[in-house]
Amino acid sequence: MQVSINEKPVPVNFSHIRNLEEALAELNDRFVPPGEQVFQIRVNGEFFSERYPRESRYVSLKEINTLEITTIPDTQMARVILAEAGVQAGVLCQAIAQSARLFRVASEEEANHYFAQVLEALRWLLLTGEHACRVLQVDLVKALPPNGEPESHYLKRMQDLLEEMGEIHEDLDYVLLADLMEYELLPMVREWQEVLENLARQ
């Protein structure tokens, strides 16, 4: 098997390795330059991207003739992730509106399932923004909208709102929960979307 990183051949012995996941882990540990991350993977000339978690674990090395890896600096990767996160924030805004609607008109089971997905996506977006600030070494305050509230106030208000929504959800007051999602959470997520987009341009 021919292996290359950034178009440079890598002399590596994979005789002790069984699958693509293990091969990528070893290449990342031994050959990916410090301060860089794997950006693209080509297997037999075709771009490889996992369609489900740990798909690479089920790709046998016997099936691979060529493995090409492209890396980019951590800062560039952070901007790539932020750009995608900005798009996902827009999708999340639509999901929040839909979740609020479901709590008003749909079955409890369907609404709760959708609500759980919204919360998971929201946590990911918040963590992405904070992590990107550390990688890019920028102050989150500079990414907040002009004339907006201090970053610590924003995050505290978001935390308080999520806690309040959790308590209301436990009380099964779905009408009030829907109102909070539509009239308080949705504007805050739109503001966070602007933060992510500003960070991507840093």
- Do 80 and 65 fall into the same domain? no
- Do 25 and 122 fall into the same domain? no
pLDDT at position 24 over 90: yes
- How many domains does the chain divide into? 2
What are the pLDDT digits (tens) for 46-76? 999 998 889 999 999 999 999 999 999 999 9
- Do 95 and 132 fall into the same domain? yes
Is the pTM value of this prediction over 0.75? no
Residue 50 CB partners (closer than 8 Å, separation 6+): 56
- Of 27, 42, 72, the position where a domain reaches its end is 72
- The answer to whether 20 and 64 are in contact (CB under 8 A) is yes
- Do 116 and 190 fall into the same domain? yes
- The answer to whether 103 and 113 are in contact (CB under 8 A) is no
- Do 9 and 46 fall into the same domain? yes
In what side-by-side order are the strands of the sheet with 2-5?
A: 8-9, 2-5, 66-73, 36-43, 46-47
Read off the pLDDT of each residue in 154-159 and give the average, rounded to a whole number. 86
- Per the structure, the complete domain to which residue 128 belongs is given by 76-200
* Residue 9, beta-bridge partner list: 4
Residue 182: Cβ within 10 Å count: 17
- Do 16 and 41 fall into the same domain? yes
- Do 68 and 81 fall into the same domain? no
